[in-house]
A and B are shown apart, each in its own frame.
Chain A
Amino acid sequence: MAVVRWFKRHFVVIAGLLTLGYLLLPNVIVTVFSFNKPKGRFNYEWQQFSLDAWKQPCGVADMCGSLSISLQIAVWATIGATLLGTMIAFALVRYRFRARGAINSLIFLPMAMPEVVMAASLLTLFLNMGAQLGFYTILIAHIMFCLSFVVTAVKARVMSMDPRLEEAARDLYAGPVQTFVRVTLPIAAPGIAAGALLSFALSFDDFIITNFNAGSTVTFPMFVWGSAQRGTPVQINVIGTAMFLVAVLLVLFSMVITNRRNKVKA
């Protein structure tokens, strides 16, 4: 009976940790198999331990090239979407104007649309315009679908801002520009940063929309997709593992910094 009672009391914790395991299991597999030495072209079965792939991360033709294209697109898409999205968010929160409802739906709809629909319709537009598919069509598409997420993130932050802070700044003889740069922008910064981070992640990892509008340009997700047909090099797992580690380390590092700063303040 004691076992049953213990199980009942900790049911949520056990179920939650099992789900966490389900979420992390593929990452464990990706990491373990980055040390594999597969026999055939595919890296799905464990053969023997080897550091080959880690020693030559760019040892596969075209992989690092596709990685650099993905990074470039992600950086430009983040800059574009963050800039345009932040402007929209400020307009939505701070001003009253016509067609607000229509604009709100135009921003909401891309988030509620299956990617394949946006991908297909954008391709019909490019085909009709006779546009050359490649780097720029991918970039256009990425800015389009990242925009809405930036607007949502920045809007939430600006809405919860205390308007009296800006009034106080103006009472203290700050001009409109000074108020914006010294007061408004620093307060909105976490929202803008969240939107930018999200854009970067979404753009870097996007496959479906990119696959439709890329022409012969190959991004990193498209390289992985192609390799699933031709044969998966171990180096893919190396990149996947390295990105996971870098992300976790960066987050832990920033947490340690904030903790220390809070302690100093206290």
Chain B
Amino acid sequence: MAAVTEAPPLAPAPEEKPPRKKRGRWTPYWLLLPGILWLIVFFALPMIYQGSTSIQTGSLEDGYKVTWHFATYWDALSEYWPQFLRSVLYAAAATILCLLLGYPLAYLIAFRAGRWRNLIMILVIAPFFTSFLIRTLAWKTILADSGPVVSVLNTLHVLDVTNWLGWTSGDRVLATPLAVVCGLTYNFLPFMILPLYTSLERIDGRLHEAAGDLYAKPFTTFRKVTFPLSMPGVVSGTLLTFIPAAGDYVNAELLGSTDTRMIGNVIQTQFLRILDYPTAAALSFILMAAILAMVTIYIRKSGTEDLV
């Protein structure tokens, strides 16, 4: 398919080609102006407004004033740390599950699908065209208390184990952490499969033959050749899964209960129902900072800095 040297869409080289033309010194600025202005006004500026809102005090009736009230951060963290922790844990669990489930499918499409490749690819992307909220609601039917999934898990005594682990409670799966993680995994799985497929697809098939010729068993070939070469896909896939999952509140709301509320639920409630803007802004700011810090460390550690 694609040439091996071509840059993957998610991992472009940081610096582009040198300038080829001299004419039109101002042309790049005119081209950039509208779009960049849009991003500055509606992406960067809001972040600053949010920062300033988080250190304001006041009330809805009397209005808010910046009073450098940093205590809001401390109060927010001490009250909502369980939700923060839960978001990170659920998102991490969903990311690992996505990797475990997504890798075989990406591998299948890249190396084993043959003439079925395009069809499987369409089937991976097609669910996107049904609104994700409708598809998430379908999990309510699948995991229903009287449904086949729950009764099978019950007969096999799987629920006893998950109850003991605290993932489920009673004879139900709905309204438990297991249901939320299941929904998160389902919703973000394609974001894992597509980058994995892109990086697997550029691996030269002859490398597999070479490994086999050198007496490597299939598993050794995978561990020493295929997996390391697919690392860019693994890194961008895990990021594309973890970040949205950590901020998500749809799955926790539709499939969970009050005991599975994530930080997104808290931010949404504070902003849209309780109208406590400073606390909501502080929580959102903490989430942003935490995600950016984790992503930076992760990219450094995995040695794929050219991803950004």
Please list the residues of chain A having a beta carbon within 8 angstroms of any beta carbon in chain B.
11-13, 15-20, 22-27, 29-30, 33, 44-45, 84-85, 87-88, 90-97, 103-110, 112-118, 120-125, 127-128, 140-141, 143-144, 147-148, 151-153, 155-156, 159-160, 163, 201, 205, 207-208, 211-212, 220-221, 224-225, 228, 232, 236-237, 239-241, 243-244, 246-248, 251-252, 255
B127 touching A27, Cβ below 8 Å: yes
A221 touching B133, Cβ below 8 Å: yes
Take A205-B132, A220-B131 as given contacts and tell me if A95 and B27 are in contact as well, using a CB distance cutoff of 8 Å. yes
Residues of B within 8 A of A127 (CB): 277
B280 touching A243, Cβ below 8 Å: no
Please list the residues of chain B having a beta carbon within 8 angstroms of any beta carbon in chain A.
6-7, 9-10, 12, 14, 16-21, 27-29, 31-32, 34-36, 38-40, 42-47, 49-50, 53, 101-102, 104-105, 107-109, 112, 118, 120, 122-124, 126-142, 144, 146, 186, 189-190, 193, 239, 243-244, 246-250, 254, 264, 267-268, 271-272, 277, 280-281, 284, 287-288, 291-292, 295, 308
A93, B177: Cα distance in complex, Å: 46
| Nearest-Cβ distance from residue B31 to partner chain A, whole angstroms | 4
A61, B130: Cα distance in complex, Å: 20
Residues of A within 8 A of B47 (CB): 121
Residues of A within 8 A of B17 (CB): 93, 159
A107, B139: Cα distance in complex, Å: 35
A224, B140: Cα distance in complex, Å: 14
Residues of B within 8 A of A128 (CB): 49, 53
A20 touching B42, Cβ below 8 Å: no
B129 touching A93, Cβ below 8 Å: no
Smallest CB gap from B308: residue in A? A108
A228 touching B133, Cβ below 8 Å: yes
Take A112-B292, A114-B264 as given contacts and tell me if A88 and B135 are in contact as well, using a CB distance cutoff of 8 Å. no
A148, B101: Cα distance in complex, Å: 28
Residues of B within 8 A of A44 (CB): 137, 140-141, 144
B44 touching A26, Cβ below 8 Å: no
How would you classify the secondary structure of chain B's contact residues: helix, strand, loop or mixed?
helix
A17, B123: Cα distance in complex, Å: 11
Smallest CB gap from A243: residue in B? B129
B250 touching A208, Cβ below 8 Å: yes
Take A107-B39, A122-B46, A212-B272 as given contacts and tell me if A26 and B34 are in contact as well, using a CB distance cutoff of 8 Å. no
B38 touching A143, Cβ below 8 Å: yes
B29 touching A97, Cβ below 8 Å: yes
Which of A12, A155, A236, A246 has its CB near the most chain B CB atoms (within 10 A)?
A: A12
Take A12-B112, A128-B49 as given contacts and tell me if A22 and B101 are in contact as well, using a CB distance cutoff of 8 Å. yes
A247 touching B38, Cβ below 8 Å: no
A155, B32: Cα distance in complex, Å: 13
